[in-house]
Every structure is written in C-alpha cells, then in structure tokens.
Structure 1
Amino acid sequence: MATEDSFSPPPQRPLMGPESLNKPQTHKAKICMWKYLDVHSMDLINAAKTTDTLKSLLAELLALQDFESNPRSAILLDLYFYTIQFSREQGFNREQTSAFFSIVKDVHETCVETPLPNVEECYNYFTELIFCHSIRRPPFSIDLFDQDHLVLITDYMINTYFRHFKLYKYAFTPQVRLDISLTYIGMPEPEPKDEEAAAESAGLSPVPEEAELTPVQEESPTAALREYIATQLNQELAQLRLSVEERLKTTEEQFAAKLVQLEKGPSARKGSTRGRKK
C-alpha cells in the first residue's frame, strides 16, 4: 500500500469464534524466484508500458479481474502494481523482480493467515527471505541481491507494507468475536430445550388463550443465585442507609451546637462589656 488514495474501505468482515483462530506461525524461508511470476509472465510485464496495461495484465495473471467491484482485490492489485513499479525504478532484472514480487506476496499471505497480531513473525520471515536471496549457498540460498539492494528493499517494505500492516490485517482477516459463558459451582446446568419449546419461544406456534391469561413461570436454574445476590445487596444497602443516617444525625447535632454557640457569643460579649463600663 504505497499511497493513501489507493486504499478502499473493505466490505463487512465475517465473524469468527476463538475456536477457529489460527495462531501466528513461524515460516521457513525458501528460494521463491519464479514462484508466482515465471519467465513468460515477466516478459509480458516488461512489455507493458502504460499503467492501465500493467494493471490489467497483473489482474489477469493473479486472478484479480474483479478489482473494480471487490475492494480486497483492488488493494492487492495496488500492492502488486507498486511492487513492479519499485522494481522498475531500481533497475531489477527479470529474476530479481520475480523474486522480490514473491517475497512481497509471501509476506502478505503470512500477515493475513491469522487475525491475531503477528507483525514480529512477518518481519522475521521477511528478513529471512531477503537473506535467502542475497547469500550464495546452493541449494538453500542464492546471491540475487547485493547489499545495496537489501537496504533499498528493506526501506521500501518498512515505509509501505509494514507501516500499513494493521490496515492490511483489518481488510483481509475476519473479525474476532469472543463469547463468555459463566458456570457457577454447585448450580445445576440448564437443560436444553426441545424443538417444540424452542419453536414456541420463537413464536412459531400459536399460544393458547389460557396460557396468555395465566402465564407459567418457569423455574430458572439461576433463580436461587439471583435471589441470594438480591438478599445480600438489600442487606448491604440497609447497613449503608443506617450508617448514612447516623452520620447525618451526628452532623446535625454538631451543626446545632455550633449555632447555639454563635447565638450566645454576641450577647455574652455585650454583657461583659456592660459590666466593665459600670
């Protein structure tokens, strides 16, 4: 994601529970030259001279023809388009462009494989992929990029992809929803309702008039717990009310005593002054 204008708001994300979450994984770097763009594809890309031609070609090669109606496809197309543009600006050959494109695509797929935070795993995987294509040690790695290329590629990925890491994860990963259920020790578990009871509670079956006039109160397994909690709260509130009343009474008595002293003060001073004059 090289520019803010290229980002389109994604559609509503699906929900997923914690039971289906994929934990962040550690991937082993391998040589990925010609992995997604083979020699023929690179020849077609090098022959594309205009922006529209290149985008149309990438959409066809990577199955992103719905980029005009699908925001996710549009985001991916922008990511891959600017990857090719960067390779052209740096003068990469076909092998280097194909390898760099594969590195970007593999890092992105690692990012979106889980909705959980995995930026550290993705960055470590990215650095291993870069070194895998910069050190000659066949068949484990090749010296495709030199030291200057490593600096340029790392700066580009940090300033573009990893700077917008959370946006990519938000656009391509499902939303996580956590449901919490509490089980109290010593309380019976609620029995599952049968289909008929569920249909009646949903309003699918007609309710007799007698049932409407005299509704049956079902005993809930948590009724005893609620009653206990309500009793304890009432007791605490009663004690708190008594404590507040006592404090108010004490404050009123102190305030009344101060008023009496203030009322007696001036008369006492006047009496003492008259006595002195006599």
Structure 2
Amino acid sequence: MGPESLQQPQQHKAKICMWKYLDVHSMDLIDKAQTTDELKSLLSEFFSLQDFPSNPRSAILLDLYFYCIHFCRDQGFNREQTSAFFSIVKDTHEACVETPLPNVEECYNYFTELVFCHSIRRPPFSIDLFSQDQLLAITDYVINTYFRHLKLYKYAFTPQVRLDISFSYIGMPEPKEEEPAESSEPPISPLQEEDEEAAAVEDPTAALREYISAQLNQELAQLRQSVEQRLRATEDQFSSKLVQLEKGHSGGKGSGKGKKK
C-alpha cells in the first residue's frame, strides 16, 4: 500500500445513533438470548459474521459486540441505552480503523462527542439517555477495553504500510533483460574467460558503482533510523495520551463522588 492511497485521519460529526444498528425487533431477540452461544449466534447473523470460526477479523468483531451487550446487561441498561451504546462502540471502531495512520486523538474526540450526544437533553441534537454515573462507566469501559488495545485493532483491520524505494540515475543505461539465444560459436576457453574477467575488473564504471552503492546504503540506514525514531515518538505520544485520559477520568470519578456526599 503506497502513501498516495493512505486515507488521512478524519474528523467525524457525532449524531444520535439510537436504533442505528440494533432496532426494536433485534433488541427483543437479544433480550431472549440467555446463553453465550445464543447471543453470539444472533450477533453473527445480524452483522454477517457467520464465518467467525475461520475468519480472525469476524471473530474479533464478534467478541467486541458480544462484550458490549454483556457490559450493558451488567450495568442494567434498558433497550434504548443498549442500542445506543452498541452504536457508539461500533461507530468509534469504524472511525479508528478507517486508516492505518495514527488517529487516536480524533477517534477519542469522536467517542466523547457521541457519548455526550446521548447524555445531554438538547433536541434535536442530543438526548439525555445516560446519567452521569453511566457516562463515567461507559467512558472507563471503552478506554480500558478498546482504546488500550487500539494498536491491535488497527493491526488486524487496517492494511500494512510498506516503504518501497527505487532509484534511477541520469546518464547510466538501465539493465535490459534479454532472453538467452542459442549460439553456434565454439565454447570459450579458460584463457578467454580470464581475459574477460580482467576486462570487467578494469571497467571504468566499477568505482562509480561502488561509490553509489556505499552512499545508498548510508542513506537507507539514515532513513531506517528516522522511521524508527518516528515510530517510537508516536508510541510515546499514544501512551502519554492514555495516561492523561485515565488520570482525567479518575479525577472525574472523585469529583462525582464528592458531589453525592
């Protein structure tokens, strides 16, 4: 995959997404599913993931959807809240894996806007579907189960980016591939082979080729070092962003508890 085909990180606009993926009929069927196999069978049918036993991507998505429903049941969410939370997680995931480039900040902002879009009453732009405690629980769950493993999701669902370099030098002919032709000439004697090898050693372009090869190896080593430094910087930025998010939400929890007292 070349750089010209990479999709840049996008800014998505949050909208009310209740009943977007799970409608009333789907929620009725999900509520009736009591076992893990029944629930996974329904979800795989809803989202065309029946090949999850042999397709790793389908299996990952099915686990993501299954544990979303399981979280909603643990929190005691009603059908409207379950459908909205499921849509929030699904839309966030699709935004995160739309490009192999780093987009954690854009995706987290999109996720927070989606959550607040279902926590504040301001028709027709947002609704008060989740309470403040539910808002904190949703944020902690998504950060700890999804954003903490965002690199793994991007590795599984985005194409691998490879850097291919080719050089062409002005004034030097490009090598041409020629098919070997049958010749009726007599075989070359050992003395003639030695003369040809000596002529090849005395080739005036040999020194130039060696110099170009040495410079090319040096440039590639510098390029490899630069790419590794950028990857480390991106990884450090991602880790520091997660630490800041965790500190902010832990502080939010403490302030919420203080208000209750």
Note whether the superposition's TM-score is higher than 0.5: yes
Match of 1:208 among 179, 182, 190: 182
Residue pairs, 1:179-258, within 5 angstroms:
179-182=164-167, 187-188=170-171, 198=177, 200=178, 205-209=179-183, 227-228=207-208, 230=210
1:41 aligned partner: 26
Q: Does 1:121 align with 2:121?
A: no
Gaps of 5+ in 2: 197-202, 214-261
* Deviation per residue, 1:14-50 (Å, 9 max, x gap): xx12121111111111111111111110110011011
Aligned equivalents of 1:136, 1:207: Cα separation in 2: 82
Compute the TM-score of the two structures, normalised by the length of structure 1.
0.66
Q: 1:71 to 1:183 in 2, by over 3 A?
A: same
Aligned equivalents of 1:232, 1:28: Cα separation in 2: 51
Aligned partner of residue 136 in structure 1, secondary structure: strand
Q: 1:228 to 1:162 in 2, by over 3 A?
A: same
TM-superposed CA distance for 1:182, in Å, is 3.8
TM-superposed CA distance for 1:180, in Å, is 2.0
TM-superposed CA distance for 1:137, in Å, is 1.1
Aligned equivalents of 2:12, 2:40: Cα separation in 1: 30
Aligned equivalents of 1:165, 1:232: Cα separation in 2: 42
1:91 aligned partner: 76
Letter matched to residue 171 of structure 1: A
Q: 1:231 to 1:59 in 2, by over 3 A?
A: closer
1:112 aligned partner: 97
TM-superposed CA distance for 1:232, in Å, is 11
* Deviation per residue, 1:39-76 (Å, 9 max, x gap): 11011001101110000000000110000010110000
Letter matched to residue 182 of structure 2: P
Gaps of 5+ in 1: 1-15, 217-222, 234-278
| Larger CA Rg, structure 1 vs 2 | 1
Q: 1:65 to 1:231 in 2, by over 3 A?
A: closer
Q: 1:37 to 1:230 in 2, by over 3 A?
A: closer
Q: 1:206 to 1:53 in 2, by over 3 A?
A: same
Letter matched to residue 164 of structure 1: H
Aligned partner of residue 12 in structure 2, secondary structure: coil
Aligned equivalents of 1:130, 1:71: Cα separation in 2: 29
Q: 1:211 to 1:145 in 2, by over 3 A?
A: farther
Aligned partner of residue 176 in structure 1, secondary structure: coil
1:27 aligned partner: 12
TM-superposed CA distance for 1:208, in Å, is 2.4
Match of 2:45 among 26, 44, 60: 60
* Deviation per residue, 1:167-222 (Å, 9 max, x gap): 001111111011123455xx24756x8xxx65x4xxxx553235996999xxxxxx
Aligned equivalents of 2:39, 2:210: Cα separation in 1: 70
2:62 aligned partner: 77
Letter matched to residue 150 of structure 1: L
Q: Does 1:50 align with 2:35?
A: yes
* Deviation per residue, 1:211-258 (Å, 9 max, x gap): 996999xxxxxx98763475899xxxxxxxxxxxxxxxxxxxxxxxxx
Match of 2:127 among 142, 146, 150: 142
2:229 aligned partner: none
CA RMSD of aligned residues (A): 2.9
Letter matched to residue 208 of structure 1: E
Q: 1:109 to 1:231 in 2, by over 3 A?
A: closer
Aligned equivalents of 1:59, 1:232: Cα separation in 2: 56
Q: 1:72 to 1:230 in 2, by over 3 A?
A: closer
Q: 1:188 to 1:212 in 2, by over 3 A?
A: farther
Letter matched to residue 27 of structure 2: M
2:144 aligned partner: 159
